[in-house]
A and B are shown apart, each in its own frame.
Chain A
Amino acid sequence: MSLDILNVTKIFGPARGGILSRDEGFRALDDVSLHVPKGSSFGLVGESGSGKTTLTRCILRLENLTRGRVLYEGTDIHGLAQRDLRRLRARLQIVFQDPYASLNPRMTIHDIVAEPLLIHRDLFRLSARQRSERVLELLEQVGLRSEHLFRYPHEFSGGQRQRIGIARALASRPDFLILDEPTSALDVSVQADVLNLLHRLQQELGLTYFFISHDLGVIRYICDDVAVIYRGKLVEQGPVAEIFDRPRSDYTRMLLAAMPDPDPDKSPFRQS
């Protein structure tokens, strides 16, 4: 399902001052436009403070826009009534960066993954037993076992928690997934497993991915298209191969050069 971001600007409120106050507030997003085609993986690259997290919050309408529109299959997300918004949220899900902070520590895995089914029970109409079955199916889908069902998040490793987060995001059968740095808190080895899982799920379920990362290697591995964002503005966007092989902007070139290459011969310190 395609997502269109049209001229989105987000300014965080100017500090309340007099009418003559010059303070314009903080421009977190400045005229950002993107098109995410259905079934593809779209990467968004940026450093901290570039506005990438604000953009996801704007897409999910956890934040209001100052200007612009966010269209999901042609419907303006920010123009929806609360009830329709709730329905839409079942189809547009997010996986967060920090697998430790994004799961409620007081809930069992079963309750965490079942929560979307409870929130949207008007859509799914499942009995308690059917819900539990669906939770089991989801856990299996992300590579966890049934004995994990009634354990608490703190008993799991970072990688397992991220799988739980993915299972929760998939529970309401979404067709669009925002992945907000889903692997940057994980070890490289675990990152590889999670990336492969995401790739497999996309093929099985026909998902559209909006993948946010600061790791260009990961973006290159998983994404078809990529956009580079810097201080709230899009620097450039296009197919992954094109942007990475022939970056047009200085900023992208700098980012590529700063990525530490695991080949010792490419170290800038060992030129001698």
Chain B
Amino acid sequence: MRFSIEHEIPGRVRVRLGGTIPERDIDVLSQVVVAHELVREARVYPRIGSVTVRYECVPGARREVLTHLARIDSEMVEAARPACSVALAPRTHSLLLDIANLVGGFYLRRWFFPARLSALWTFWHYRSFVREALSSLLHARLAVPVLDASAIGVSLVQSDPRTASETMFLLDLEETLEDYTRARSQNELIYSLLAVPETAQRVVGSREEAVPSTDLAVDDLIVLRTGNPVPIDGTVERGVAMVNQAALTGEPLPVERTSGDDVFAGTAIDEGEIYVRVRKSAGETKLRSIVALVEQSSNLRSETQERRDRLADAIVPWNFLLAGIVGLVTRNITKVAAALMVDYSCALKLTGSISVLAAMSESARLGFTVKGSKHFERVAAADTIVFDKTGTLTEATPRVAKVIGFHEWTRNRVLRLAACLEEHYPHPVARAVVKAAAEANLKHREYHTEVAYIVAHGLASTYNGERVVIGSRHFVVEDEHIRVSDEAAALIAAEMGGLSVLYLAFDGELVGVIGIEDPLKPGAAEAVADLRALGFEHVVMLTGDNKASAARVAAEAGITEYQANMLPEGKHAYVEGLRRAGHHVVMVGDGVNDSPALSEADVGVAMAAGTAIAREVADITLTDSDLQALVTLRRISMGLSRRFDTSYRTIMGFNSTLLALGIAGAITPQTSSLLHNSSTVALGIAATRPYA
């Protein structure tokens, strides 16, 4: 495309294109521009046909970026359109224009319209407020719209359309800002969820391969197992699974799906294994499922916010009572107007939603997705944080450090059989085994029958007619009654110090052990220390792993309270116990075995690399795996609480003073209205300050 440079500094250039940019091209164009690796941000100004591009400041970058811009043509834009299906997402780029229109219209009427015409307009506009007030009264609620309409009405009755139109203008402004905050926070959520990559297991002949879910085509066959997300819409060919459809239907209990049933993108497999024929590709379905999720979560307003909104509504009758008493005592309509002119709700609602928006967008920028503003409050109030170990405190990608074979079993044979089983199970440890086998170039064919998955214990199957089990010591030795000889035990103790150990048994005999190294994440210890400094009294680690490796990780991370050999029920019960003891609990986890505990906790936080089911039940999702994000989350949450408190006190104090002054006659209703409304806008602007 042809363009001319309008403004330029190193790292940023604004270009002007030939003409205006149609509404439908805005998002696509900015996506195409950002697609270049050096480009960090693009902003499109559709009306004036201009684009601002920020790029990485490295030698030669300017020329490359300009060449990239020049290469963009209508074909590229058309090619990018299908991937950019965000047309469903609410639009937010026009806030400034909406506000400019409100302000421009207001002053146009005030300065240039004849007073009569202006008054006529005011009356006409007043209808919409009356309509809202009536609908509130019809529901037998003496709520804020009634107060608004009465306050404006009193100004009109006093033949003061100027004040009336001023009040209406500020109320409109507030409504625009509120709509915008809502749309904006929903959008950020949608975009951050769209960015999370998903893979699926495609079945080709007798083999399975992991492919990005966006590569799936209609009529592909995929297999979904415990903990997997359903990435597409499809029909079950065989198998049975319990499917969690809460994100789509709001139904909390999983439903059974078997041959011939349909499954839908955005749901997740609670338990079981199904083979699914793809009916609609991921591109078509992903956005829909995310929008459904976001629509549900955006209803979760913060409790404090709810409480204050209710309080604001509850004050309204007293406002009227006060106005009535003032009217009876003073017989002075000006003083009645003063009592009606000040309401608390307007400012409370505006500062509330703007504060939350600021927190949400800051969170999204810093790498976590918060599904609803009430979770900030819970995080701020929490005194206990519970971590899962593997994948949360430790690296998401553990690796196989040692393999020992017993009897005639070679190390490769142990690894091959283990990988053959573990590839069916979405867990970091399982992935480590499969990866190690792949790196050792070990091919494994599917000789075993269906794999039974026993949560947090291990896997069991039949291989050439013999029972084969793999899993923790607890599972293999105690539940499956596999005997470990004294030499084997000594060897394991000597070789596997500090490692997590998987036991593999074949035909009732221990044939091998695999030592998994599970290093602590860099910065985990600092993050734990910071969390303590920010007021978490208890930092707890729960793991299904053995005591030795739990002790090692806990010591390295600076955690003194930990529980090893935990089952999912155990984790859930532990969190439940904490809550019953009066603690407010944040639970951080990533796996299938964490999901009961995640949903039990006051706030569940899922790691980015976690399974779909964990992300599904969690209230907050980290988009990268750095634990420092939790510290930031706590800071933002506490900042939001503080901001709620200060703005609440300021609003109550300031407006009560106005009310008193107005009734005492020290200031006119007009002054009081002006001060009230401008303080509201000022507080709203103050609420946009960043937190961290």
Q: Judge: A and B partners, yes or no.
A: no
Residues of B at the A interface (CB closer than 8 Å) are none
